Amino acid sequence: MKLVRTTSAMPEPSNPPARGLSAWRFVVVFGGVSLLMDFVYEGARSVTGPLLAHLGASAAVVGLVTGAGEAAALGLRLASGPLADRSRRFWAWTIAGYVLTAATVPVLGLTGVLWVACALVIAERVGKAVRSPAKDTLLSHATAATGRGRGFAVHEAMDQVGALIGPLTVAGVLALTSGDYAPALGVLALPGVAAVALLLWLRARVPDPVAYETTVGAAAPEEPDPPEEPGPAGARERKLPRAFWAYAVFTAVTLTGFATFGVLSYHLVVRHLMPTATVPVLYAAAMAADAVAALATGWLYDRFGAQVLVVLPLLSAAVPALAFTDTVGVAVAGALVWGAAVGVQESTLRATVADLVPVGRRATAYGVFAGIMGAAALAGGALAGVLYDISIPRLIVVVAGIQAAALVLLWFTRAVRSTPAH
């Protein structure tokens, strides 16, 4: 897929349009917010599989619930993205989503009822759905000055610092309390409060981040507009670019064959490959791999474009072949590969959307894109859980076939060009 990028390589404006915050400082402070919130929800997600298993869930239930959680986190953005675009209240949507997650996670450790725990797992993901299109739109304005790939990659890497600390904290508390989930998840309330406080401070300093992008746009030489397609002007403005849809189909296929960490951790605990308290440590290591992969592919994306995404189907195909073995070292390697694949998904995929879609439709595009990813994540989680219960070799073969199809789709989408984003 070839993209026409108009702002990602632009230098940062010398006079920041906000109160003393350059575009890079905005990205870094927002990364601090995400670091604290990842501390919260990644700490919880690191033990979702063992927690549900402790309450009596099967592998299929774990796969369905964690897949449904990802579907909620992604699919509900079909509504939150367009609503954010129409209301233009990007900060309000971002704050509301972070508050919902911060309030939900500590309660998860208090319940002893399976269906309540399942509902809370999904509710935490709803908070991500509420905030993500608006949050990514706010970030996309600043990354116009820093470079799309680099800006989103740095933000994702800071995410993963929190995703590293959170699971390690949960693992430590579980070890000290002999596996009691209540204090292990209850301690996560503290970084949640800190994240919301820092976010409110950032909003006060930078109430309108779109100024970063408009300042860069004003300094850049204008490029000729592409030929207009026939049809009413309003219809043209509402349409998302053709390249966006081709790219979304490729992404959906890769996620349809991608297992959730809930199923991976279920396998580790049920097969007695490692104790429950060690699983969050492995999750933390996977998040470190996530950060490294995000930084590497973000830099490569700014240099070579979307062709770097060829690595995503390859990583996704390797996950079940490694992670679902009965050899501890190989299973650990599979979890690290899983983390690297998530790093590509969370950074370079988001940067590509920002380059494909104009500013006025970007939150909508993030919402639609996430909705497609959500449906694929639900299918992927359910597929992995069900096939795991039936036959692990069959699961490995099916996922390999799906990722091979994704590679073919990526090859076809290279011929699709996007319209420049103005």
Non-local CB neighbours of 14 within 8 Å, separated by 6+ positions = none
The pLDDT value given to residue 115 = 84
> For domain 23-216+239-413, which architecture applies?
Up-down Bundle (1.20)
The pLDDT value given to residue 218 = 44
The pLDDT value given to residue 33 = 94
For the chain, give every domain's residue range. 23-216+239-413
Distance CA 86, CA 353 (A): 19
The pLDDT value given to residue 414 = 62
The pLDDT value given to residue 20 = 58
The pLDDT value given to residue 418 = 40
The pLDDT value given to residue 413 = 66
| Per-residue 3-state assignment (H helix, E strand, C coil) for the chain | CECCCCCCCCCCCCCCCCCCCCHHHHHHHHHHHHHHHHHHHHHHHCCHHHHHHHCCCCHHHHHHHHHHHHHHHHHCHHHHHHHHHHHCCHHHHHHHHHHHHHHHHHHHCCCCCHHHHHHHHHHHHHHHHHHHHHHHHHHHHHHHHHCHHHHHHHHHHHHHHHHHHHHHHHHHHHHHCCCCHHHHHHCCHHHHHHHHHHHHHHHHHCCCCHHHHHHHHHHCCCCCCCCCCCCCHHHHHHCCCHHHHHHHHHHHHHHHCCCCHHHHHHHHHHCCCCCHHHHHHHHHHHHHHHHHHHHHHHHHHHHHCHHHHHHHHHHHHHHHHHHCCCCHHHHHHHHHHHHHHHHHHHCHHHHHHHHHCCHHHHHHHHHHHHHHHHHHHHHHHHHHHHHHHHCHHHHHHHHHHHHHHHHHHHHHHCCCECCCCC
Cβ atoms of residues 314 and 9 within 8 Å: no
Residue 417's DSSP bridge partners are 2
- Kindly give the confidence (pLDDT) of every residue in the chain, 422 residues in length, as a single tens digit, with 9 standing for 90 and above: 444 444 444 444 434 554 557 888 999 999 999 999 989 988 888 888 888 888 888 877 887 887 788 777 777 777 888 888 888 899 999 999 999 999 888 888 888 788 888 888 888 889 888 998 889 889 888 888 888 778 887 887 888 788 888 888 988 898 888 888 888 888 999 999 999 999 999 999 998 888 887 655 544 444 343 444 444 444 444 578 887 888 888 888 888 878 778 788 888 888 888 887 788 888 888 888 888 888 888 788 878 777 788 888 899 889 989 999 889 999 999 999 998 988 888 777 777 787 788 777 787 888 788 778 777 877 777 788 788 888 889 889 998 898 888 888 877 766 444 444 44
Which of 240, 254, 256, 251 lies closest to 354, judged by CA? 240
